Each structure stands twice: as structure tokens, then as C-alpha cells.
Amino acid sequence: MVDTGFARLLQGVPMPAMLVQREDRVLACNALALALLGDGIVDRNPAVAVRTPAVLSAISAAARSGGVHEARMTIRRDGQEQLFQVTVSAQGEGLVLCIFRDISEVEKAGAMRRDFVANVSHELRTPLTALIGFIETLRHAARDDPAARDRFLAIMEHEAGRMNRLVRDLLQLSRVEAEERVRPKDAVEVRGLLEGVISSLKGVAEREGSTVVLAGAGAVVPGDQDQLTQVFTNLIENALKYGAAGQVVRVTLSPEDTVRGPAVRVEVADQGEGIDPVHIPRLTERFYRVDSHRSREMGGTGLGLAIVKHIVSRHRGWLRVDSTPGEGSRFSVVLPLG
Ligand SMILES: Nc1ncnc2c1ncn2[C@@H]1O[C@H](COP(=O)(O)OP(=O)(O)OP(=O)(O)O)[C@@H](O)[C@H]1O
Ligand SMILES: [Mg+2]
């Protein structure tokens, strides 16, 4: 009777909770704890439910000398690792309460933030080191050498430009992320927008000896004109940069029926060397590059597709990447019409 009372009480706890009597018997659990630790654990020894020694010693310590004890526990479920912070507290009369808080996401977010800061610092440090080196040279060795001075200033301009682009892209990314929940509402005509993007990339196309061909009928989507311009600039610029030189980049508009209603699909297809499937899921990560040396050489920051992903998701659309190595890549953006 008492046990069911406890079970009912634990049912109100919004995370896995388990009550242990003394240190050797599980007295009650809520449904979340049963799902996490196993169905048949009530009345058994807590060691049946929990295999982490740190948690078991916390239970013993609380049962014997009272107080609140913390321990961490890792569980592998469906091939995924989950990390729990377990708070073990003595409740008097030999009762010990264990609360399991899933901190996997918090840990992951922390790790991502650390990675991000490390990446940004690294990306900024490279051009900055070059700039400092050249300033030093200009003040001393190249002081009276006009030809060297011009050459160094050109490199410095290039490096400063890279830092400038990096900061611009980082700001853009954080702005898009901040407003990602607010869906843009302006009426944007997609074909006209693509024509504008293609003509602004004429210089890049000419340099690569490539042509961009646009096909398909127009469509109007609720959107943000500037951000969509950015999306297709990034995708078409990538197709020109990473597609084979002297080839055709095809931009194709087509209507698409999705489960959420009618949409328009914009496909950007190149005839480059393509992308190995192992890289595809990671392309939209910040700073992820297949060939980082080549991307940096071309002045890329590795943030282009991350920005694309956030803008497209703000438009309630999605990005899909298909590629056959050796034959080219196809980046498709689907944007809902309503
Ligand atoms: N069409 C493509 N064909 C082959 N690889 C591609 C293509 N588009 C992108 N990639 C790969 O994906 C990586 C990430 O692309 P992304 O646009 O995010 O960065 P970037 O082009 O290196 O830099 P930025 O866009 O900031 O100039 C690229 O470095 C490249 O390796
Ligand atoms: Mg790019």
C-alpha cells in the first residue's frame, strides 16, 4: 500500500525517479525510470537497475550517512549514448531518492560552443599572423624596397579581406539564427530573384569559363528577398567554384507537392567531381570543408552552407544534397508556397 503511494508520488516527477529503501531494495519507480532502467526493478537490489558504481556508492552513502550526493551515469540506448546527472538524496527513515536528469543535450551544446570558439579563433589567427608578419617586414627589411612593399600590401589586403568576410559571415549567421523562429512574409518571386543572382555572379562564371543556365517557371513564395538571394548566391557560387571549369551549372525551378502543401524546388546542379557520401551529412556544419586547403585558397570561410541551412529553415523549407562522385552534385532547396 505504502509502495503504491510512493509510486503515485514519483509519477509527478517529470524525469526518471527511483526510491530505494535502505540501500538494497528498490521501493518504487515512476514510469520514466522503468523505461530507462528496466521493467522488473521494483523490489530488486538497486544494482539490478543501475550498473554504474558511482551511483551505487552514492546510494550507499546517502542511506548510511544521509545528505545529497551527485553522480554521473552513461547509458547506451539504440546505439546512442545518453548522459545522466543523478542526484541521490537521503529522505529519512532509510529512504533514498534518486533523480536522473538527462544532460546529454547540455553537454553536447557545451562541446559545440567550445568547438565553435576554437574554430573561429583558428580561422582568425591564420590571416592575423600573416598580417603581423608582413607589418614587421614592411617596417624593417622591406622598408626601402617599393616592389616588395607593393607585393606585401597586396597579400595583406587579401588576408584582411578574408578576416572581413569571416566576421561578416559570422554576424550574418548569428542574425539568421536569432530570427529563425520568425517566418518571413514578403512575397518573393523566385525566378526574378534567381536571374538577379546569376547576373551578379557573371564575373565568377566568366573566370571559371562556365555558364549558368536557368530553366523552369516562376513562383512566388513568402520570404525574405535578401536572405533568399544569399542562399542562391552561396549555392550557385559553390557550383561554379567546385564544379568543373568550363562546364554548365543548371539552375532548375519546378513545382513540388509536399505533405505540407505545394512548394517550389530550386535545384542547382554542377558537373564537378562531386562529393563523397561520407561528407554530405556534415556539409552544413560551420567551418566544415571537404578540402579545406582548396576552399581557403578560394577565399572561402566554410560558413556558406551553414548560413544556407539556417535561412532555408527560417523559410520552413529544406535543403537536400545529392551527389555522384565523378559526375557532379545537386543541391535542392524546397520552399513552401504558403
Ligand atoms: N557544388 C559542390 N561541389 C563539391 N563540393 C562542394 C560543393 N558545394 C560545397 N562543397 C563543399 O562543401 C564545403 C562547404 O561549403 P560552404 O559553401 O559552406 O563553404 P565554402 O564554399 O568553403 O566557403 P564560403 O561559402 O564561405 O565561401 C566546401 O568547402 C566544399 O568542400
Ligand atoms: Mg561556399
Tell me, using a 6 A CB cutoff, whether residue 300 lines ligand 1. Answer: yes
Residue 196, pLDDT > 50, answer yes
pLDDT single digits (tens) 49-62: 999 999 999 999 99
Strand ranges for 277-338 from DSSP E: 318-324, 328-336
Q: In whole angstroms, give the CA distance from residue 294 to residue 114.
A: 25
Q: Which residues contact 281 (CB under 8 A, 6 or more apart)?
A: none
Ranges of H-type helices in the chain: 2-11, 31-37, 46-49, 53-65, 104-139, 146-178, 190-200, 202-208, 225-242, 292-297, 304-314
Mean pLDDT of all residues in 188-214: 96
In this prediction, residue 77 has a pLDDT band, given cuts at 50, 70 and 90, of confident
- Provide the CATH topology of domain 103-178: Helix Hairpins (1.10.287)
Mean pLDDT of all residues in 228-249: 94
Query: Phi, psi at residue 269, to the nearest 5°?
Result: -120, 130
Using a pLDDT cut of 70, give the percent of the chain over it.
99
Give the Cβ contact number of residue 254 at 10 Å.
15
Ligand 2 center to 4 CA (angstroms):
60
Q: Hey, where are the domains in the chain? A: 2-102, 103-178, 183-338
Tell me, using a 6 A CB cutoff, whether residue 240 lines ligand 1. Answer: no
DSSP 38: -
In this prediction, residue 3 has a pLDDT band, given cuts at 50, 70 and 90, of low
pLDDT single digits (tens) 101-119: 999 999 999 998 999 999 9
User: Which atom number of ligand 1 is nearest to the Cα of residue 331?
Assistant: 1
User: Which atom number of ligand 1 is nearest to the Cα of residue 299?
Assistant: 27
Q: In whole angstroms, give the CA distance from residue 268 to residue 333.
A: 9
- Report the CATH superfamily, name and number, of domain 2-102: PAS domain (3.30.450.20)
Cell triple for 248? 554548365
Tell me, using a 6 A CB cutoff, whether residue 275 lines ligand 1. Answer: yes
Q: Whose CA is nearest to atom 1 of ligand 1?
A: 239
Contact between residue 301 and residue 286 where contact means Cβ atoms under 8 Å apart? no
Tell me, using a 6 A CB cutoff, whether residue 16 lines ligand 1. Answer: no
The best mutation among 237, 238, 275 to test binding of ligand 1, ranked by most ligand atoms within 8 Å of the C-beta, falls on 238
DSSP 166-224: HHHHHHHHHHHHHTTTS---EEEEHHHHHHHHHHHTHHHHHHHT-EEEEES---EEEE-
Buried b (16+ CB within 10 A) or exposed e, 63-92: beeeeebebebebeeeeeebbbebbbbbee
- Provide the CATH topology of domain 183-338: Heat Shock Protein 90 (3.30.565)
Ligand 1 center to 40 CA (angstroms):
52
Sign of CA dihedral 141, 144, 148, 154: positive
Mean pLDDT of all residues in 140-153: 90
Tell me, using a 6 A CB cutoff, whether residue 301 lines ligand 1. Answer: yes
Residue type, 204: V
Tell me, using a 6 A CB cutoff, whether residue 329 lines ligand 1. Answer: yes
Q: Whose CA is nearest to atom 25 of ligand 1?
A: 304
Domains 2-102 and 183-338 share a fold: no
Tell me, using a 6 A CB cutoff, whether residue 323 lines ligand 1. Answer: no
User: Which atom number of ligand 1 is nearest to the Cα of residue 289?
Assistant: 29
The SS3 assignment for 247 reads: coil
The best mutation among 212, 242, 301, 327 to test binding of ligand 1, ranked by most ligand atoms within 8 Å of the C-beta, falls on 242
Q: Whose CA is nearest to atom 6 of ligand 1?
A: 242
pTM reported for the whole predicted model: 0.78
Q: In whole angstroms, give the CA distance from residue 234 to residue 303.
A: 10
